[in-house]
Amino acid sequence: MIINVHYTAQLKSSVGAAEEEIEMSQGKRLKDLVDDLTQRHGEAFSKYVLDEQGNLLPAVVICLNDEQVSLGDNAPLTEGASVMFLTAISGG
């Protein structure tokens, strides 16, 4: 199945794309997607999204099909799902 992933702020610059399509097998969940993106993009992704223990950073919001979800919810993914990672923007 294809999952549409959207990035904002520093994460968009860090992974080098505003969005990408990720192919995953059926039955995958949100945590599986985050694991896949960590493998795919390494530190460029994880430093903006996860702490050292693999927990979602407090300043990150994940939206699944336009609804905010928690990584702990481990929501199921479906064909064509849209996942957006919103990271805090710093500056003044």
66, with CB counted inside 10 A (0-12, 13-18, 19+), is exposed
Task: Confirm whether 91 is domain-assigned.
Answer: no
**pLDDT over 70 percentage in the chain:** 96
Contact 6, 82 (CB under 8 A): yes
Q: How far apart are CA 60 and CA 11, in angstroms?
A: 10
Task: Confirm whether 67 is domain-assigned.
Answer: yes
Task: Confirm whether 92 is domain-assigned.
Answer: no
Task: Confirm whether 30 is domain-assigned.
Answer: yes
Number of domains in the chain: 1
Q: How far apart are CA 74 and CA 70, in angstroms?
A: 7
**For residue range 39-50, what is the model confidence (pLDDT) as tens digits?**
999 999 999 999
Q: How far apart are CA 49 and CA 69, in angstroms?
A: 14
**For residue range 80-90, what is the model confidence (pLDDT) as tens digits?**
999 999 987 65
Enter the pTM of the model.
Answer: 0.89
CATH of the domain at 49: 3.10.20.30
Domain assignment of residue 33, given as a range: 2-86
